Structure formats: C-alpha cells, structure tokens
A and B are shown apart, each in its own frame.
Chain A
Amino acid sequence: MWDAVVVGGGLAGWIAGIRAAQRGKKVLLVTEGVGTLFYFSGIFVYGDIEGLRHLPKHPYTLFNSEAIAQGQHFVQEICPEYIINETPQSAFTVLGTVRQGDLMPRNMILPDRQEQGRFVLLVPEGLKDFFPEVVIANMAREFPGWQVSAKRMRVDALAEWVKLGKSVSSIDYSAIWRSEEGQRVLAHEIEEIKRQYQVGNKPQEKIVVVLPSLVKEYVDFSRTKPCIEEFSLPVLEMSSFVPSPHGRYFAEYLKHRFTDLGGELMIGARAVSLNQESPSENKARLCQEIIVNSKGKSLCLKGKKFILATGGLLGGGIKVGMARKSIHEGVFDLPLFVPKEWSEPQFFASQPFAQIGVETDELMRPLDPERGEVVWDNVHVVGRMLAHWDPWTQRCGGGVSVTSGYVAAELV
C-alpha cells in the first residue's frame, strides 16, 4: 500500500512526488513515457497571479498566496540556481528575442538594457535549428545600446557529425558543454574573446558571452564528477527549444531527486482504470487501487491517495475520439468541464478548448459539475488536467503546475 500513487511524470507530477517523498511518504510515480518536460524552456511563468485569482474558477482561486510562494521556494530549494524576484525577469530566446519569466536560472537573466556593453554570440558549428543572423539582428534590436558580434566555434568531439554534414541537436551540444572537454573548449574560446575585445580601445567595455544550448543547472554531484571551469567573462544561457536540453536535464534531475528520497518510478506503464470500495449512499467514494498496464499483464496498485497528473488534451490525460462527443479522462473517467464552443476564429485568442479539464473543490478533489459534489475523496487533480485556465494566453503554466503539485503533496 502506497501513501500516494502519482500518475504522470510531467512537472506537476514530479513536484508532487518529490514533495511527498521529502515528507517521508511512500510514493510511487507511474508514467507512460518521459513526460512533457522535453518541451520546457527552462523558465517558469506564473502570470498575473492577483489578476487571475479574480477569475471565478481559475485554479489560482484554489490556493492562497502563501501556497503559491511555497511552491516557488520549493523549486528554488530543489534547484538553487533559480532566482525568485519581485518583478519578472527577462531572457533571450533562441531567436535572440527577449521573453519574460517569473522564475528562471541565474545564468539566463539578461543584463540591464540601460547599461552599455557587448554581446558576443558563440555560434556552435552545425547546431540544429539555430540561425545566427536572425539572432544577431534580434539581439541588436532588443539592446540598442549594445554592440553585438558573433564568433563561430567548433568542438572536436563533434567533428565527425559536421564532416558528415549532419546537424547537431541542442541536446547533444548541451552534453558537450557539461563535459570536461566542452568546458575546456569554452574556456579557450572565452579567453580569445576577451583578448580580442578588451585589448582594443575600450578596456572597460562590459562583455557578455551568449551561448545557445548551454545548461549549467541541475547538476547532481552524487552522480557526476565536478568539472568546474570559471570562465573569465560572464556567459548567458538562452532559453531552450524542442527537444529541450533544459527539459532533458531537469527531468533527469527531478527523477534522481525523487528516487534518492525513496520514491519509486514505474516508467513504461499506463494507468487505465481503477477499483473502488463499494459505494455507500451519498458519500464520496474511495479509490482503492488503480490498474496499470505493464508488459504482459495488468498490475493493481493500492494507495491511500492518488494524484492525477496526466496532463490535458495535449499531454494525453484527456482523450478525444474522432467524434467530439467522446471526450473523457483516461484513468478515473472523471467528469470533465467542456465548453459548448471549442474554438475561437482568431488563432491567438484565448481558445475555449484550453479550459477543458476537471473541476475540483479547494482540495483539488474532482467534482461532478452538475451536482457540485466531490466524486472521489482520495483523488487530487493537479497540473494541466485542472479546468478553467489557459496556459497560452494567461501564461501561468509553470505556476499552476508547481503550486498544484506542491499543495497536493501536502495533502498526502
């Protein structure tokens, strides 16, 4: 019997699992694949928390501001490189444009635009989907007071890739930057940049090196040799694109945090249904076990609490058949809130389908939307599965996932 079975290995699921395991609970996390963190930019957005809390059913209305702050601090506790600030911070995207975020790694935060200086963009040879001319033009536009130049570079370890004319994914480059050889190459390049720009007429010029696919965070020294190379100039990370190196290392790091705390990961298994205690009249029901498809057979996983973190329409937690009528939640068959009209003609408008999800009480227990009663007493719904929010226009995806996962873990 597990204290909690978390279904889903995305951001909300991992946060719930880690926090519950940290509280000494016996936790099993069941996930079909590696989850959606491979889409993660490295930046958490929380959105206009106070504004969103005025929307009557937004998930933020389920949490007090203390819980939201606790979730943020929890992220920072896990990854000390993340900086919490009163005001949103800015970072470069891989296109060289500037985006805002509420919680981002220290190494990503852009310098003050009022200052003056020089960005030197390091352009790794053959990096896939990276267009330095576009990046430089965008950086120059975003930072009018700054000089922008580029320096091309190559890494011997990837020479064979380049010789074959094969592009190198940002994931492969990020692995190089984290290796001893990569650190050595970078130190050398940065030294050269320093010589080139500081020896000249402006020795006082502030120089910031910008490097795509660099991920300095989420290093686990219990599994990796420390290779610390102090660079002679500040080096800026850019936010990640798909498949995201930040997401890859973050997911791996969260997995290790979870299992090191005693949590168990069951990957490659899909939760499909549940067994319940025979329901008595007018009482919320208790889920006793969920049924999970492993290879060859079904497993029954007994738990005191179940945390549903399977994602929404895109993550696969909500399934839509060819006819829209067949829309359902895949594990508990929970009742869903579905708006009458699914879409808006304006592409970038807030799309009604984004609001599809499970309505809950303040403990994130699923509600029957018609009767307003709790359906399952020991099931908590977290992350994208919650109804009445839109991560794209409200820009609060990280905030809702982290907070709901954290709060659910406190209820275990």
Chain B
Amino acid sequence: MDSRDELAARLDACQKCNMCTAQCPVAKVNPRFIGPKGLGPDMERFRRGQINLDETMLDDCSNCKTCELTCPSGVKITEMILGARRAASKARHKNTMGLRLGLRGYILGRNEYLGKLGVIWPTLTNQVLKIKLVRLAIDKTLSISKNGPLPAYGKPLKIQPDKVGIGTNTNKQVVYFPGCYTRFNEGDTGRILIRLLEHLGYKTIVPDFHCCGLPLEANGQFGKADKNGRYNLELMRPYLEAGIPVITSCTSCGLTLKEDYPKLETSSAQLIGAQAYDLFEFLWQLHEKGELPLDFQEVRASYGYHPPCHLKAQGIGTPALRILGLIPGVKIRNLDAGCCGLSGSYGFKAEKYEKAMKIGSGLFEAINVGAEHGDFQSMTTECGVCKVQIVHGTGIPTVHPVRILAKAYRLID
C-alpha cells in the first residue's frame, strides 16, 4: 500500500473541500440530504464513537458513486456510506424506519423474484402494472411511486447450463452473467449477446445465477446480498479456476462483480475481479489481439450515448464507443450529461421519484437538444434502468449497444 492508499483508507485523507457534495446529483436536488462529505467522512467520526444515524437518512444516497470519482484525495466515500448502512441495518429495531419502508426495501431488493413472477405471464403483469389504480395502490401501500417507470417484463432469457463440462478448449468459452434486468425484462438483449459471442466462436455458459446483490444492498438487505454473492461465486468457481472470463452486459452487475465480490470470503473471490469483463471491454481486448472480425456491414444510424455512472466507476473508459467506432456508417455522440437519476431502484420510490427526475433533467435536456439538432434519432446505453429512465424522461427510443454491433455483423435486422 503506498502512502496515498494509506491516507485514502483513513478518513483523514478528506480535506473537506466539498467537491463531492458540489458534484453529488442528490445534494443538488434535495436540501435535506447532507451530501456525501457529510454522510461519509464527517459522520464517520461520529460513527466511530458509536453514534449511529437513522437509516432513512443514509438511504438518501443513491449509490451512484459520483463522489468517489470526484474526490481529489481518493477517499472511498460511498464505501463509508454503505458500511454505515450495513451497520444501521443490523440495528434496525432501534431506528424509526417504518414497516412499510422495510417491506418496500424487501420487495425492491427482490427484483429477481419479482422477475421470476413477472415473466410467468408477462403481458398480464405488464397490463396490470399499467392500471393507474394498481399503481396508486402500490404507491399507498409500499411507497413505490405511481409515476415511476417500472420496466415491463418480456420473454425471459433461458439459462444455458454447462452440459458437456469445461473441457480443454477453455480459451473459447465464456460465462455470461446476464443480471435480472436482461433476464426478466429484456431477454432479447441477452439472446443477441449470446448469438454475437457464438458468432465470434465462443461457447457461452449461462448458469442459473441469482441477482448480483446490488439491489439488495441498495435496499438495505446486506445479509441477503452477501449470500447471493457467495452463491454466484460458487457457481462461477470452476470456470474462474479454469481461467474463463465472466461477461456482463449490465454495468451495475459488472461493478458489483468487480468491486464487491472480491471482498466476499470465498476462494473464488480472489479471482473474480480480474476475470469479470464488461462485454465491450472483453471485445476490445479481442480487438487488440486481432481476434475481432471486422467484416461489418454498414449501419447508417446515429445515436446519442449515455455512459452509466456504474460504467464510469469501473475505470475502464467507454469501450462500447471504441467498438462501435469501428463500424462504418455508425455515428455516435457521447453526451455524458450526468446521472439519469433512477439509480437502480432509487427513482421508483415515492418520496424520491421527483428528485430522480430532477437529477436526470440535465441528461434529458442534452438528449432533447441533440435530437432536435438532428444529431441522432435514438439513444444507446449499456444500463437497463438508465434506458428505462431515458425513455421515461424523453420518449426517445433507447437500445443496448450490443444491438448495434449485432446489426453490423448481420445477426439481427
């Protein structure tokens, strides 16, 4: 550990410059939020004296990690806040968090089970969730905003268990971690991704993973999140040990695999960080090795691109733009106009819906202005819920970038 890491590990590295709060999308719209510096390093001093905060206050942080990217001294601000939430969740009986909010946290954290229920009869679920009265009832009973853009369910992505075993040709195999959104809401993206990897000569294994755990964590269900992590790591273990990469198409699942899983106490936790790849990060690596076929057909389309917060937090740049830049005809504008506001399930919560929309307003404006200028007709972004929020805020059609690549390879129309 160098001197800078040592400092960062200690909260003394915080110089109180307030830049994190100045950049925090939540503090901008919510005067009651004391901001990342206040909730993170400042309050940490009290917490070290065993003075713990009310969980609802900690819950104002949307976990977008902008503060960590902003801090000039490398202070792990979100990590401190999450640690405090974890501690507060253990002492839940002592705080004022209501039963209703507890139940909401339980439900929003269980997007995997909701997904499994939702896809039994997706059209029915979607129709029911469109009924205003139903949404009002959910709003009143669970404080889940009646206006929030709950994603629709679709034909689920089937798991693809590894029937033949790993074998010897490990360098042409990948494990795909689709994440709940792709699995239950947008199975098409997953199916396209698998076809694409097949096209590149890769056998894709999709074990029956549980939710990565991030929504559970974001809704205060830390124990269950860790359990999911350990379960998933156990499923990954033989592949990780054989050096097979694990690919994600959701940037939040990807960040969880890279950032949170290595902290779990299992043997495969040491391996996952280095072997987890965002799809385009993986494809770029192939390209650098000269293994990515470049026989693209021209795709005449222009897109605006929104880099999700949890992609930025991975510290890998914008590999999707690099790959899409190889396709003749494709024009992409990287808008990079801030957080969309939804932050997983944050924007679904009744008391946070309007703030989430305000957070996203800068992005919506950039999209609308760009579309009016004729810079692009549609948007593209890796994150499923960013996509849902963009469509909700602007009405502009939004696709996962893998679709554009699949088009260039003539895999889809």
Contact = CB atoms under 8 A, between A and B. Distances in A.
Contacts of B31: 160-161, 164, 166
Contact of A223 (B72, B73, B366): B366
Interface string A25-39: 000100011111010
Interface string B358-372: 000000011011100
Interface in A296-326: 296-297, 299, 302, 315-316, 319-322, 326
Interface string A151-177: 000000000110010100101100100
B313 A295 contact: yes
Nearest to B361: A179
Contacts of B183: none
Contacts of B21: 169, 243
A163 to B, nearest CB: 8
A172 B315 contact: no
A293 B1 CA distance: 13
B22 A316 contact: no
Interface in B266-290: 272-276, 288
B54 interface: no
A266 B315 contact: yes
A224 interface: yes
B19 interface: yes
Contacts, number: 130
Contacts of B71: 33
Given A38-B72, A171-B22, A319-B3, A295 B314 contact: yes
Contacts of B74: 32-33, 270
Nearest to B255: A295
B22 A264 contact: no
A256 interface: yes
A265 B335 contact: no
Given A34-B69, A264-B321, A223 B22 contact: no
A321 to B, nearest CB: 5
Range for the number of chain B residues in contact with chain A = 35 or more
Contacts of A255: 336
B375 interface: yes
Interface string A235-270: 000000011000010000001100110001111111
A320 B3 contact: yes
A294 B322 CA distance: 17
A38 B2 contact: no
B130 interface: no
Contacts of A33: 69-72, 74
A267 B272 contact: no
Contacts of A166: 31
Contacts of A346: none
A348 to B, nearest CB: 22
A259 B336 contact: yes
Interface majority SS on B: helix, strand, loop or mixed? helix
A222 B3 contact: no
Contacts of B28: 172, 175
A267 B4 CA distance: 18
B257 interface: yes
B273 A223 contact: no
A228 to B, nearest CB: 14
A225 interface: yes
A387 interface: no
A30 B23 CA distance: 19
Contact of A34 (B72, B258, B273, B366): B72
A222 B4 contact: no
A91 interface: no
Contact of B333 (A260, A297, A299, A320): A260
B373 A267 contact: no
Nearest to A322: B3
Contact of A222 (B2, B23, B369): B369
A247 to B, nearest CB: 9
Contacts of A38: 17, 19, 22, 72
Interface centre among A161, A221, A259 (most CB of B within 10 A): A259
A409 to B, nearest CB: 19
B258 A295 contact: yes
A265 B369 contact: no
Contact of A164 (B32, B288, B312, B318): B32
Contacts of B275: 297
Given A294-B315, A297-B273, A224 B365 contact: yes
Given A225-B369, A266-B317, A296-B272, A321 B3 contact: yes
List the 10 shortest-distance A-B pairs measured between CB atoms, nearest first.
Answer: A296-B273, A296-B258, A266-B317, A269-B315, A294-B315, A268-B315, A223-B366, A243-B22, A295-B258, A297-B274
19 contacts: A164-B31, A171-B22, A172-B28, A222-B370, A222-B375, A224-B366, A264-B317, A265-B318, A266-B315, A266-B318, A267-B69, A268-B69, A268-B315, A269-B316, A294-B314, A295-B316, A297-B276, A316-B4, A320-B3
Given A243-B17, A296-B274, 13 more contacts: A33-B69, A33-B74, A34-B19, A34-B72, A35-B72, A222-B333, A223-B369, A243-B22, A268-B315, A295-B273, A297-B258, A302-B288, A316-B73
Interface of A: 28, 32-36, 38, 160-161, 164, 166, 169, 171-172, 175, 221-225, 242-243, 248, 255-256, 259-260, 264-270, 292-297, 299, 302, 315-316, 319-322, 326, 330
Interface of B: 2-4, 17-19, 21-23, 28, 31-32, 68-74, 255, 257-259, 262, 272-276, 288, 312-318, 321-322, 333-337, 365-366, 368-370, 373, 375
